[in-house]
Amino acid sequence: MTNETLEILLAAGIPLAIVVAVTTLLVRRRRGPDTDEAPTALDEPVVVPAPEVEQTVEAPAPPVEVLPEEAEAPSVLEVPAPVAGRLARLRDRLSKSGSPLGARLLAVLSKDHLTEDDWDELEETLLLADVGAGPTGELIDALRTRVRVEGLKDPAQVRALLREQLIALVDPTLDRSLHTAPGAAADGSRLPAVVLVVGVNGTGKTTTVGKLARVLVADGRTVVLGAADTFRAAAADQLQTWGSRVGVHTVRSDRDGADPAAVAFDAVRTGRAEGIDVVLVDTAGRLQNKAGLMDELGKITRVITREAPLSEVLLVLDATTGQNGLNQARVFSEVAGVTGIVLTKLDGTAKGGIVVAVQRELGVPVKLVGLGEGPDDLAPFDPEAFVDALLEG
């Protein structure tokens, strides 16, 4: 048989074989249940073996109440990136966000002779970068004195001076540690650390809670999430997805618009019953009016503290919103007893000066910064690494 003949036979034969097979199967099926033939593969239910669950991170103990989400756990848990050194990413991100503050300051300060216009330009640059009027005045005064007294000319010396002054402005003496160590109740039972996350809507609260859960998991802690943002329907789903990626359980209500205080209470009670280290509670960010906000956050705080004291109240602030964001933050800090600030979207602004302004305005340290939308784009705030990122960006 030649190759050509073989190809013709194959071309005609394969469709013919398919037609014969399909016809046979159809005829067999039509015969119905009275046939005494053994069932064909088409009659049998398809049994697909369950994929093996590969766990790279220890899953938390099962919750007190088994919620439907347990069935949705992903087959492979993610391993969060190490936390150390994350702030260094800011340098790359800042260099992409136009002309960063540090570069602009250095460009003026590196001139041979600084005129009054140059000092005005420096001042304007700091104000435009949201440093705020008070801190800007302080920095300019300190720089002028040092440049005059020490007669600094060498660019490396000027740069070192600017670095030193910026670090002083950001204030390295503030306590930026996140209080997440479990405590003990009067009866000796273990209490989880409770972190309440508040802020205006859209600032990145839910994302921050998700990223923070990963930071804690990377640190070997057990975590429970409380979806007390019952105002936005998708918020609980969003939070649950974050948690399930690292094996963290989310306590939520199955009803939209449920009482956020009740969900927060359930989350803390679950955390306590299960001996969890940290309970992170996400809240809605409605800023209808101060009285309404005070009522809602006051109630959440009251019911939580029936189970365990609050370890941290983190205010999430969008770094790109400038003065407007600061005004809103002031209202939250007045009603919620804020202990730390999370400054998100620092990757999306060349105005790093907001760090200084927000600390001065609210009298509370920036403890964490958001550096992007990636799951591990949250870093502990470190004044020196931050200033280095500004100057080297």
Ligand X SMILES: Nc1nc2c(ncn2[C@@H]2O[C@H](COP(=O)(O)OP(=O)(O)OP(=O)(O)O)[C@@H](O)[C@H]2O)c(=O)[nH]1
Place of tokens 């964490």: 368
Query: With respect to ligand X, which residue has the nearer C-beta, 152 or 209?
Result: 209
202 binds ligand X (CB under 6 A): yes
Q: Please report the DSSP string for 73-95 in residue order.
A: --SB---PPPSTTGGGHHHHHHH
312 binds ligand X (CB under 6 A): no
Q: How far is the CB of 320 from ligand X (least distance, A)?
A: 9
Q: How far is the CB of 105 from ligand X (least distance, A)?
A: 24
Q: How far is the CB of 239 from ligand X (least distance, A)?
A: 9
Cα dihedral sign, 173-174-176-181: positive
229 binds ligand X (CB under 6 A): yes
253 binds ligand X (CB under 6 A): no
Within 8 A by CB and 6+ apart from 179, the residues are 193, 311, 312, 339
Q: What are phi and psi of 49, to 5 degrees?
A: -60, 140
Query: With respect to ligand X, which residue has the nearer C-beta, 165 or 206?
Result: 206
Q: Per this entry, what is the length of the chain?
A: 393
Q: How far is the CB of 373 from ligand X (least distance, A)?
A: 4
Q: Is 284 known as a binding-site position?
A: yes
Rounded Cα distance between 211 and 229, Å, is 16
Rounded Cα distance between 290 and 273, Å, is 34
User: Footprint of ligand X on residues 254-293 (CB under 6 A)?
Assistant: 284-285
Q: What are phi and psi of 201, to 5 degrees?
A: -65, 145
Rounded Cα distance between 204 and 325, Å, is 13
Rounded Cα distance between 359 and 252, Å, is 33
102 binds ligand X (CB under 6 A): no
Rounded Cα distance between 387 and 381, Å, is 11
Distance of CA 334 to the CA centre of its chain: 24
Pattern 339-368, ligand X, x by CB under 6 A: -----xx-xx--------------------
320 binds ligand X (CB under 6 A): no
Query: With respect to ligand X, which residue has the nearer C-beta, 176 or 286?
Result: 286
230 binds ligand X (CB under 6 A): no
370 binds ligand X (CB under 6 A): yes
130 binds ligand X (CB under 6 A): no
Residues annotated within the binding site for GTP are: 199-206, 282-286, 344-347
Interface residue list for ligand X (CB under 6 A):
199, 201-207, 229, 232, 235, 284-285, 344-345, 347-348, 370-373, 377
Residues annotated within the binding site are: 199-206, 282-286, 344-347
